[in-house]
Homo-oligomer: A and B are copies of this chain.
Amino acid sequence: MTFRSRLAAAWQSNNSLLCVGLDPDLNKFPAHLKGRPDAVFEFCRAIVDATADLACAFKPQIAYFAALRAEDQLEALIEHIHARHPQVPVVLDAKRGDIGATAQQYAREAFERYQADALTVNPYMGFDSVEPYLEWKDRGLIVLCRTSNPGGSDLQFLEMAGGRKLYQHVAELVATKWNPHGQAALVVGATFPQELADVRAIVGDLPLLVPGIGAQGGDVEATVKAGRTADGSGLMISSSRAILYAGQGEDFAEAARAVALATRDEVNRYRG
């Protein structure tokens, strides 16, 4: 079963376009978890168990685990998701990008070691830096296109000879040349709805991973209307901090569930 078909099944079974980002920051953890050697796993496990019927994907951000020497807890977390919530695919957010021989190692890290269903990658080094991942035909590859941070414009919004912006060129490259087996998706930030609509027009019904709502301030209605496909799906709308740190007490997972539910339902209002 391909990443795309698993994602489509999760859109439907959970009636959700919400991707729950897992960015574990010890400083923001509830007091009762602090100091536990498995705090990272336990925090994320509780969030996952509380939101698994509301999400179309989970997206652990590897930097947060790596900074804490918690790779083993990331492995355990993804194993837990596959075992308990097999309907929800896992996107490993690592934004890898390197030459072919090195990309093969990153592919082994993401797809064999961590058993991720999809991986985010950076397009700057071109197609041969992306190609090795495509050998795992049941996995997805989500290419950075237009990112939600202010500095995203420094390169992505540059105008090319011919009048197009760099991010538009990346969208077209991925849709037409970098996706021989239907494994590709794109990252497009919610902070720029017009550009999201733009990318949607270029790439047809390719899935889009959309960070930037919640803590980063993107507007949900504008985002969904700009990015949805004709059937009202096509999106993984990602929220991390607003869900993870909704509560500070022992009931943090319930608080997270409440925000996830409200966000899912708000998104669904605009699916058309």
**Contact assessment for A113 and B155 in the assembled complex, using a CB-CB cutoff below 8 Å:** no
**A 154-176 contacts with B by CB, 8 A:** 154-156, 158-161, 163, 166, 169-170, 173
Q: Could you mark each residue 107-134 of chain A with 1 if its beta carbon is under 8 Å from any beta carbon of chain B, else 0?
A: 0110011000000001111111111000
Protomer copies? 2
**Contact assessment for A124 and B126 in the assembled complex, using a CB-CB cutoff below 8 Å:** no
In the bound assembly, the distance between CA atoms of A156 and B162 in angstroms comes to 16
Known: A71-B71, A169-B158. A128 touches B149 (CB 8 A): yes
Partner of A61, one of B23, B102, B127: B102
In the bound assembly, the distance between CA atoms of A149 and B95 in angstroms comes to 18
What number of A residues sit within 8 Å (CB to CB) of B? 53
**Contact assessment for B109 and A63 in the assembled complex, using a CB-CB cutoff below 8 Å:** yes
Partner of A63, one of B95, B105, B130, B154: B105
In the bound assembly, the distance between CA atoms of A105 and B65 in angstroms comes to 9
Secondary structure of the A side of the interface? Answer: helix
Q: Which residues from B are CB-within-8-Å of A96? A: 63, 95
Partner of A109, one of B67, B100, B153, B160: B67
Known: A123-B155, A155-B124. A106 touches B71 (CB 8 A): no
Q: Which residues from B are CB-within-8-Å of A159? A: 160-161
Known: A63-B98, A160-B160. A152 touches B126 (CB 8 A): yes
Does chain B have a CB within 8 A of A262? no
**Contact assessment for B122 and A124 in the assembled complex, using a CB-CB cutoff below 8 Å:** yes
**Contact assessment for A151 and B166 in the assembled complex, using a CB-CB cutoff below 8 Å:** no
Does chain B have a CB within 8 A of A269? no
Partner of A147, one of B99, B108, B130, B160: B99
Known: A155-B126, A156-B126, A163-B161. A109 touches B66 (CB 8 A): yes
In addition to A63-B105, A67-B105, 4 A-B residue pairs with Cβ atoms within 8 Å of each other are A63-B98, A95-B96, A97-B97, A123-B155
Residue positions of A touching B, CB distance < 8 A: 23, 61, 63-64, 66-67, 69, 71, 95-103, 105-106, 108-109, 112-113, 122-131, 144, 147-156, 158-161, 163, 166, 169-170, 173
